[in-house]
Amino acid sequence: MTKRIQILIVGGSFGGLTAAYELRRHLDPDQAEITLISKDERFTFVPSLTWVAMGSRKLSDISFDLAGPLAGKQVKFAHETVTAIDTEQKSLTTKVAEHRYDFLIIATGHRSANEAIEGLGPFDGPGHSPMSPREAEELAGAVQGLLRQPGPIVVGAAPGASCIGPAYELAFELDHLLRRRKLRHLVPITFVTPEPFLGHMGMGGVGKIRQLLEGELEEREIRYQTSAAVTKITAEAVEVQESRSIESVLSIVIPPLAGIDAVAKSPGLSNPKGFIPVDKHYRHHSADGVYAVGVAVALPPVEETPVPVNFPKTGHMTEQMAQIAVADIVARINGTEAPYAELSARCILDMGNRGAYINVDPVRPPRNRIPTVSEGRQWLFAKRVFERTYLWHARRGRKMPTTLGW
């Protein structure tokens, strides 16, 4: 009997779940044993964490248990925390077991480097961030506190941040919420960003998004600072390098990201920040059989900026990486060559009372196609429908729709 190929996937979010479903679609259970290892029991639709923070969603609305859908695809699920990866021995160690692999896909996501900004909590300082389910729930409580005791707020991103879209969304969503509660006149809003201009997004700009965002912030009387380097957050203010201190009773700052400890501490696996270097197929540069997808991947910024802005990695882009990596694994098993493609990005930005649709192909400039930027109420409706549709497919083990991206 031919020995089954052992494939391990680490991470149960967009990259891991997509990889598991795609691998099983191409490889029969008698050909490959697939195991997904995740420290989280549940899949969470991360783009909706801003809605959790605003109180319009509960975590139970945007998450589901991983075990059931994976079992339906004959994928083993191990609810375990990875502690080390030995690429020489092709083994992975968790707190409870050791796993061997022929192929390994690392889709571990990120560690929020909140320590980069003094006071960026929320659990060890006054600053807030929506980058994890626990943080989003904590922020939801802080937003309710703001509604009871209005005051000035600061929303933005720290130097080196790569996930800047949610900062824009939170600024617009808070503005919309405060206007509906007739409290906006009591709450000055300041937006601070390391971007050299609004809408840079780590992509060097996207069509006319700069003009759109400048107009929207000015129309809503949201003050903004670009090339802003946040250095410290206190209970009363946000301090910005080479600028005045900005008064704030609620400060929401997107942190820079880093690789998780298990990856960062495994010899020869990552760069100094804990991100994994890969080739065009998302295959590790030197470790045989190792792939990385999503936020775990080391991707250089598109350009140097006065204040660092890192390359973005959206859920849509993560799924593309997972599909390219899976295609390469399947091709290697079958003795063929796999195709690859440049990453594109599609997302819908929630602007409170409407949305903005952005389509960029490829993500890195220069581009053959002029990016699409469209704005209107229909896009906010589409974003809500997409969330429900994606979750419906994902919890049933079906191929997820990515027409709109996110």
The pLDDT assigned to 123 comes to 83
Candidate list 70, 163, 250, 252, residue with the active-site label: 163
319 in any annotated domain: yes
With 70 as the cut, is the pLDDT of residue 166 above it? yes
**Domain boundary, last residue among 305, 320, 342:** 342
283 in any annotated domain: yes
185 in any annotated domain: yes
Check whether residue 231 and residue 264 sit in a common domain: no
The pLDDT assigned to 397 comes to 87
Give the model's confidence band at 331: pLDDT under 50 very low, under 70 low, under 90 confident, else very high.
Answer: very high
Check whether residue 163 and residue 292 sit in a common domain: no
Check whether residue 221 and residue 300 sit in a common domain: no
With 80 as the cut, is the pLDDT of residue 389 above it? yes
Amino acid at 240: V
Asked if 152 and 247 count as a contact pair (C-beta separation under 8 A), the reply is: yes
Query: How far is residue 281's CA from residue 116's CA, in Å, rounded to a whole number?
Result: 32
How many angstroms separate the Cα of 200 from the Cα of each of 121, 128, 176, 211, 395? 26, 23, 23, 11, 34
Domains held by the chain: number: 2
Check whether residue 176 and residue 209 sit in a common domain: yes
Check whether residue 46 and residue 133 sit in a common domain: no
Closest CA to 252 of 354, 170, 334, 164: 170
182 in any annotated domain: yes
Check whether residue 203 and residue 286 sit in a common domain: no
Q: What mean pLDDT comes out for the span 147-165?
A: 97
Give every CB contact of residue 92 below 8 A, 6+ residues apart in sequence.
Answer: 8, 10, 37, 82, 84, 85, 86, 98, 99, 100, 101, 104
With 60 as the cut, is the pLDDT of residue 405 above it? no
* Least confidently predicted of 158-167, 199-208, 289-298, 390-399: 390-399
Asked if 264 and 236 count as a contact pair (C-beta separation under 8 A), the reply is: no
CATH number of the domain at 223, please.
3.50.50.60
Q: Quote the DSSP letter at residue 278.
A: B
Query: How far is residue 263's CA from residue 243's CA, in Å, rounded to a whole number?
Result: 37
Give the model's confidence band at 3: pLDDT under 50 very low, under 70 low, under 90 confident, else very high.
Answer: confident
Residue 163 annotated to the active site: yes
Check whether residue 141 and residue 249 sit in a common domain: yes
400 in any annotated domain: no
- The structure tokens listed for 121 are 């909590």
94 in any annotated domain: yes
**Domain boundary, last residue among 285, 317, 342:** 342
Segment 225-255, tens digit of pLDDT? 999 999 999 999 999 998 889 999 999 999 9
Residue 230 annotated to the active site: no
Structural domain containing residue 332: 5-110+259-342
Q: What mean pLDDT comes out for the span 322-343?
A: 95
The pLDDT assigned to 402 comes to 64
Check whether residue 337 and residue 252 sit in a common domain: no
With 60 as the cut, is the pLDDT of residue 191 above it? yes
Segment 79-121, tens digit of pLDDT? 999 999 999 999 999 999 999 999 999 999 999 999 999 999 8
359 in any annotated domain: no
Check whether residue 170 and residue 76 sit in a common domain: no
With 70 as the cut, is the pLDDT of residue 403 above it? no
Across the chain, mean pLDDT equals 95
Segment 171-183, tens digit of pLDDT? 999 999 999 999 9
E strand intervals along 196-289: 223-225, 230-233, 237-240, 246-247, 250-254, 257-258
Candidate list 70, 104, 139, 347, residue with the active-site label: 347
Query: How far is residue 403's CA from residue 64's CA, in Å, rounded to a whole number?
Result: 22
CATH number of the domain at 82, please.
3.50.50.100
Check whether residue 233 and residue 134 sit in a common domain: yes
Give the model's confidence band at 401: pLDDT under 50 very low, under 70 low, under 90 confident, else very high.
Answer: low
**Domain boundary, last residue among 256, 274, 295:** 256
With 70 as the cut, is the pLDDT of residue 406 above it? no
The values of phi and psi at residue 187, to 5°, are: -130, 90
With 70 as the cut, is the pLDDT of residue 289 above it? yes
- Collapse the DSSP code of 43 into the 3-class scheme (helix H, G, I; strand E, B; otherwise coil) and give the result: strand
Q: What mean pLDDT comes out for the span 335-358?
A: 94
Please, what sign has the CA dihedral across residues 179, 183, 186, 188? Answer: negative
Check whether residue 251 and residue 119 sit in a common domain: yes
373 in any annotated domain: no
Check whether residue 274 and residue 206 sit in a common domain: no
